[in-house]
Amino acid sequence: MIDRLEKEVDMLERHLQVLRMVIENEPIGIVKMSNETGYPHHKVRYSLRVLEEENLIEPSSQGAITTERTAEFIDELDGKIDETVDTLEGMKLEDAAELES
């Protein structure tokens, strides 16, 4: 169960790293992103597809570029991450005694 969560977090981290690269270097292509991140081309391509499906980037002849939705997403991102961290913190079993009571 936790393994799946860790994999999802790793994938989200990759998606956000790819998005950050697009924001900072647009337009940017798969080869450059792969070379700079060390992620294989197919993983970068998958992240780009996910980001495109979320309307956060779009393809251009020179490479990926941001959309009008990107800034709004970035503005909301920290709050969403904080909410998720709070939820996960609330799920912790602080003390084995909790299990016994």
* pLDDT over 80 at 78, yes or no: yes
In the chain, what percentage of residues exceed pLDDT 90? 84
Q: Is the dihedral of CA 80, 36, 65, 30 positive or negative?
A: negative
CATH of the domain at 81: 1.10.10.10
Can you give the pLDDT at residue 1?
A: 83
Q: Which range of residues forms the domain containing residue 70?
A: 2-95
80-101: average pLDDT: 79
Q: What backbone torsions phi and psi does residue 31 show, to the nearest 5 degrees?
A: -60, -45
pLDDT in tens, 17-58: 999 999 999 999 999 999 999 999 999 999 999 999 999 999
Q: Is 82 part of any domain?
A: yes
Q: Is residue 100 included in any domain, yes or no? A: no
Count of CA atoms in the C-beta half-sphere (13 A) of 76: 6
Cα–Cα distance between 96 and 23 in angstroms, integer?
A: 45
**Is residue 98's pLDDT more than 80?**
no
